[in-house]
């Protein structure tokens, strides 16, 4: 049973953002500091990726561990309404897979950076991962 009422739970859930989250901002600031430029949340692409690098045909998704079903300590399992949440989170994972497949069909490469990685990895480790995925920065 839920420890808070339905109205309070609804209010709490409505405050959860889908974009401009703390992990996303960490990745955006780090990527920008490396000299890469990107488009945010391009609605023309499947799944509306967080960071889009059109000239490189690359996208970075910054996934919240709970919402995207990562197998880590941040992705705790809900204790109430288990049926709903199991179905919801499984659906999110399936949607992510479909969108990545569609992006690949369109010639895009994808990288997922998990919320827990933005906390666990050092800036240098995240930088190495981003540079390895994007390639060297284009000089202007």
Return all residues near 37 (Cβ < 8 A) that are at least 6 apart: 53
Beta bridge partner(s), residue 61: 112
pLDDT band (50, 70, 90) for residue 136: confident
pLDDT at 12: 57
**Cα-based angle 128, 27, 30 (whole degrees, multiple of 5):** 60
pLDDT at 76: 80
Q: What pLDDT, in 10s, does the model give residues 55-70?
A: 999 999 999 999 898 9
Q: Classify 62 as helix, strand or coil.
A: strand
Which domains are delineated in the chain? 16-134 (3.40.960.10)
pLDDT at 79: 82
Interior/surface letters 98-114, b for 16+ CB within 10 angstroms, e for the rest: ebbeebeeeebebbebb
Q: What pLDDT, in 10s, does the model give residues 83-98?
A: 988 999 999 999 999 9
pLDDT at 124: 96
**Is residue 128's pLDDT more than 70?**
yes
pLDDT band (50, 70, 90) for residue 10: low
Listed in order, strand segments (DSSP E) in the chain are 39-40, 51-53, 58-63, 109-114
Q: What pLDDT, in 10s, does the model give residues 107-123?
A: 999 999 999 999 999 99
- Average pLDDT taken over every residue of the chain: 89
């Amino acid at each position: 049973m839920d420890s808070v009422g339905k109205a309070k739970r609804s209010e709490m859930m409505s405050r959860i953002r889908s974009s401009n989250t703390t992990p996303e901002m960490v990745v955006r600031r780090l990527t920008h500091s490396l000299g890469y430029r990107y488009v945010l949340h391009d609605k023309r692409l499947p799944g509306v990726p967080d960071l889009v690098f059109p000239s490189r045909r690359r996208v970075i998704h910054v996934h919240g561990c709970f919402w995207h079903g990562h197998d880590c300590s941040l992705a705790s399992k809900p204790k109430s309404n288990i049926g709903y949440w199991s179905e919801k989170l499984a659906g999110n994972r399936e949607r992510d897979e479909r969108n990545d497949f569609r992006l690949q069909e369109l010639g895009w490469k994808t990288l997922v950076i998990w919320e827990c990685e933005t906390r666990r990895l050092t800036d240098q480790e995240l930088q190495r991962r981003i540079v390895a995925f994007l390639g060297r920065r284009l000089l202007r």
